[in-house]
Amino acid sequence: MPARPAWSGTSRRLIVSFVLVLLVPAIAVVWLGVRLIEQDRALAVRQLRERRDSAADRLIAGFEQTLSATERRLASTDALPVHPDDDAVVLRVRPASIAAFPKDNLLYVPALPLDASDAADAFASGETLEFVAKDYRASADAYRGLTASSSPSIRAGALLRLARASRKANRMDEALRAYEELSRMTDVRLSGLPADLVGRRAKCALLEEVGRAEDLTQEARALHADLMAARWTLDRGTFAAYIDQARRWAGNVPPIDTDREALSQAAAWIWQQWNDTPGTFKSASRRAARFGKINMTILAQPVGDGVDVLVAGPRFGQREWFETPRAIADARGLRVALADEGGQSADMERRAAAATRLPWDLYIGSADAAADLDEIGARRTLILTGLTLLVSIVGAGAYFILRAMSREFAVAQLQSDFVAAVSHEFRTPLTSLRQFTDLLSGNPDLPAAKRATFYEAQSRATERLRRLVESLLDFGRMEAGARPYRLEPRPAGPLVRSIVEDFQRDAAPAGFTIDLTIHDAGAEIAVDTEAFTRALWNLLDNAIKYSGSSRLVTVALDVEDARVVVRVRDKGLGIPRSEHERIFEKFVRGEASRAHRISGTGIGLAMVRHIVAAFGGSVAVESAPGQGSTFSIVLPVSST
Ligand code: ADP
């Protein structure tokens, strides 16, 4: 393993700039993507709002049309927009009068028509008898005479008084008859009240007085029903008093019609406004107001010195104004709610009455707001997916390029280490060659024994150089795939023995003993002798190089399961587990080599693996730091 990290100096700068070049555009793309999503959303929301606004405008125009149509019909007498059963009424308000159409749609009116006189003078003599003389019979006779009068109002007044005097005279039957007759008199008013109403009420009171409960209930129910059907034009106070009384007598009767009650209240309010605040109905106007529990729409159209007013409840509004525009709204995917109706939600837009000139505040929104947002969401997901994909591709690309770069740097580093190591390997034998050559040439008188030793040393250095050069050339050829192997079957025992013995000679001067054990000398292996020698030599060379203080190396040859196993064992430094795989890679040197400054090139084991693989075998290591190492070459036994 090289001492320096794989990337340093220039390479680190290169990697940093590479990362920057990739990272900056990637960040820019992500930023742009996020901005794109934001803008897309904003745009979509704006488009939605614009779509909604323009649809809302058309809708409001629709409302405007239906309202104007109603307003035009307000003035006409024959094409009144209101039907008898509607929760609406048209009021024609004039300086001193107010009239309702249809009349029955109001329970009571705000103002009564001016009353004709009762011709009270006619009853003066009867009344004197009744109140001054307290002669009830005589006064009854006086009144009875007047019941035949040709004037309906005198007749009505006479009947009322006759009944009263008869009651006082305790002539209940006559009183009852008089009231009954009075009840049949329509179109006559007594002190401003319809004569028949006065008669019927008085009859009920009399029935109560005489204790005719059943007749009273029946009579009171009929009176109540007629009051509710607005049979008479009454003002509010009269109506309230009469209806309360009738309800008390009648007992169990249906509740008062709230629609008509509200309409009547509205009419009363309008009449009051007309009189108290004359400016209110000077110009055409539209408004909404609440009467009782009912929201009413009020349309006013000035005519001459008066004003025509339509008061309309929700049912009328729904039929006349909302149905069509709402159908249009539905078709356009809009939802409309009147402010008073409720049903509006936060995502709806308020269109105030003041701005639209409609009587109501409207809320307009999308019928399906969730779907609109879904559409935006879908686009967003698409953009996000695209972005994620892009970033992933850039990331993956960057990862692979970085990995390739780091490998290249590592290899470059290993190669430069290798060149340094090779130079170093050369330097040692060259130096000794040079020294011995100098010694020999500089000392012609050296004793023969000494010369022989020097020559021997020169020869060893030369041999070492030769082996080194051969080894490098071989490695080069292997790398280029140009190293041919000529496999020949050879008996493994003698071959291993001869290599070990050669090596023993080389190693002996350094004090090493190579202990060889051959268990099966006869087994044959198919090998290229020269290459096999180099492989085994490399293992032996390593064994003594990394022996530390130990001086014993053992070599054992066994045949196991039709395989020849050659084990080279030392008792040296050992190899940590983490390096067991990597030391077989070219140029890779172990921790021990650096720690103990043991020279080498890092190609020895790579060559061993290459050679053994070419013979169909394998090489393995068993080792632990401080425990020594065992390298095993395993080759198939040759079949021939
Ligand atoms: P070199 O010996 O030139 O460094 P090799 O390829 O022969 O290269 O060996 C690779 C590495 O394996 C060595 O650097 C060393 O760390 C480790 N190694 C090889 N053989 C042994 C051994 N017998 N004992 C301890 N370490 C060894």
Which 3-state string (H, E, C) describes 105-119?
HCCCECCCCCCCCCC
Say how far apart CA 609 and CA 478 lie, in whole Å: 11
From the CA of 589, how far away is ligand 1's center (Å)? 6
SS (H, E, C) 333-380: CEEEEEHHHCCCCCCCEEECHHHHCCCCCEEEEECCHHHHHHHHHHHH
What are the pLDDT digits (tens) for 258-298?
888 899 999 999 998 998 988 888 888 999 899 988 999 99
Least confident of 195-204, 248-257, 360-369, 515-524: 360-369
Residue whose CB lies within 8 A of the most ligand 1 atoms, among 418, 552, 593, for a mutation test: 593
Stated pTM of the model: 0.53
- Which pLDDT belongs to residue 210? 92
Find the residues whose C-beta lies inside 6 A of ligand 1: 538, 542-543, 546, 570, 572-573, 575, 583, 589-590, 592-593, 600-606, 629
> For the CA atoms of 565, 571, 576, 580, what is the dihedral angle to 10 degrees?
-20
- Ligand 1 atom nearest to 592, measured from its CA: 16
Residue 418 pLDDT class (50, 70, 90 cuts): confident
- Ligand 1 atom nearest to 570, measured from its CA: 23
- Which pLDDT belongs to residue 40? 84
- Which pLDDT belongs to residue 492? 95
Say how far apart CA 95 and CA 248 lie, in whole Å: 37
**Contact criterion met (CB below 8 Å) for 629 and 574:** yes
Residue 30 has pLDDT above 70, yes or no: yes
Say how far apart CA 418 and CA 421 lie, in whole Å: 5
- Ligand 1 atom nearest to 591, measured from its CA: 16
- Which pLDDT belongs to residue 342? 63
Angle at 366 between CA 365 and CA 372, to 5 degrees: 140
Task: Give residue for tokens 């022996």.
Answer: 547
Residue 1 has pLDDT above 60, yes or no: no
- Which pLDDT belongs to residue 559? 94
Residue whose CB lies within 8 A of the most ligand 1 atoms, among 467, 583, 610, for a mutation test: 583
**Contact criterion met (CB below 8 Å) for 620 and 634:** yes
From the CA of 545, how far away is ligand 1's center (Å)? 8
Bridge partners for 307 per DSSP:
93, 302
Distances (CA, A) of 91 to 66, 141, 229, 304, 545: 20, 46, 18, 15, 123
- Report the percentage of the chain scoring pLDDT > 90: 45
From the CA of 426, how far away is ligand 1's center (Å)? 18
Residue 4 pLDDT class (50, 70, 90 cuts): very low
Identify the H or E element spanning 46. Answer: helix 10-74
Say how far apart CA 601 and CA 420 lie, in whole Å: 8
Q: Which DSSP string do the residues of 264-316 spell out, in sequence order?
A: HHHHHHHHHHHHH-GGGGSS-EEEEEEETTEEEEEEEEEETTEEEEEEE-HHH
Residue 74 has pLDDT above 90, yes or no: no
Residue 496 has pLDDT above 80, yes or no: yes
Q: Which residue has the higher pLDDT, 233 or 160?
A: 160
Strands 349-351 and 362-366: antiparallel
CB-based contacts of 221, cutoff 8 Å, min separation 6: 250, 253
> For atom 20 of ligand 1, which residue has the closest CA?
542
From the CA of 267, how far away is ligand 1's center (Å)? 114
Residue 451 has pLDDT above 60, yes or no: yes
Bridge partners for 296 per DSSP:
289
From the CA of 583, how far away is ligand 1's center (Å)? 7
Name the region of 561 (left: φ>0; alpha: ψ -120 to 50; beta: rest).
left
CB atoms within 10 A of CB 314: 18
From the CA of 590, how far away is ligand 1's center (Å)? 6
What are the pLDDT digits (tens) for 468-477?
999 899 998 9
- Which pLDDT belongs to residue 66? 87
| Distance, CA of 614 to chain centre | 63
Cα torsion angle, 311, 315, 316, 321, sign: positive
SS (H, E, C) 324-340: HHHHHHHHCCEEEEEHH
- Which pLDDT belongs to residue 399? 87
Average pLDDT over residues 502-526: 91
Coil, helix or strand at residue 210: helix
> For atom 2 of ligand 1, which residue has the closest CA?
600
- Ligand 1 atom nearest to 586, measured from its CA: 6
From the CA of 594, how far away is ligand 1's center (Å)? 10
From the CA of 626, how far away is ligand 1's center (Å)? 14
Say how far apart CA 141 and CA 153 lie, in whole Å: 18
**Contact criterion met (CB below 8 Å) for 320 and 70:** yes
- Ligand 1 atom nearest to 601, measured from its CA: 3
From the CA of 574, how far away is ligand 1's center (Å)? 9
- Which pLDDT belongs to residue 135? 92
Residue whose CB lies within 8 A of the most ligand 1 atoms, among 545, 549, 554, 555, for a mutation test: 545
Residue 95 has pLDDT above 70, yes or no: yes
**Contact criterion met (CB below 8 Å) for 368 and 361:** no
Residue 406 pLDDT class (50, 70, 90 cuts): confident
- Ligand 1 atom nearest to 568, measured from its CA: 23
> For atom 19 of ligand 1, which residue has the closest CA?
542
- Which pLDDT belongs to residue 369? 64
> For atom 17 of ligand 1, which residue has the closest CA?
590
Query: In whole numbers, what is the pLDDT of the chain averaged over residues?
Result: 88
In terms of Cβ atoms closer than 10 Å to its own Cβ (0-12, 13-18, 19+), residue 100 is: buried
Q: Which residue has the higher pLDDT, 526 or 421?
A: 526
- Which pLDDT belongs to residue 6? 47
Residue 232: half-sphere exposure toward Cβ, Cα within 13 Å: 30
Residue 41 pLDDT class (50, 70, 90 cuts): confident
From the CA of 599, how far away is ligand 1's center (Å)? 10
Average pLDDT over residues 373-387: 81
From the CA of 630, how far away is ligand 1's center (Å)? 12
- Which pLDDT belongs to residue 114? 58
- Ligand 1 atom nearest to 600, measured from its CA: 3
For 295, list phi and psi in degrees, rounded to 5.
-85, 125
**Strand segments (E) across 40-112:** 88-94, 97-101
From the CA of 546, how far away is ligand 1's center (Å)? 7
> For atom 23 of ligand 1, which residue has the closest CA?
543
- Which pLDDT belongs to residue 17? 83
For 579, list phi and psi in degrees, rounded to 5.
-100, -5
Residue 571 pLDDT class (50, 70, 90 cuts): very high
Residue whose CB lies within 8 A of the most ligand 1 atoms, among 538, 546, 586, 607, for a mutation test: 546
What are the pLDDT digits (tens) for 156-213?
999 999 999 999 999 999 999 999 999 999 888 888 889 999 999 999 999 999 999 9
The residue among 337, 326, 289 whose CA lies nearest residue 311 is 289
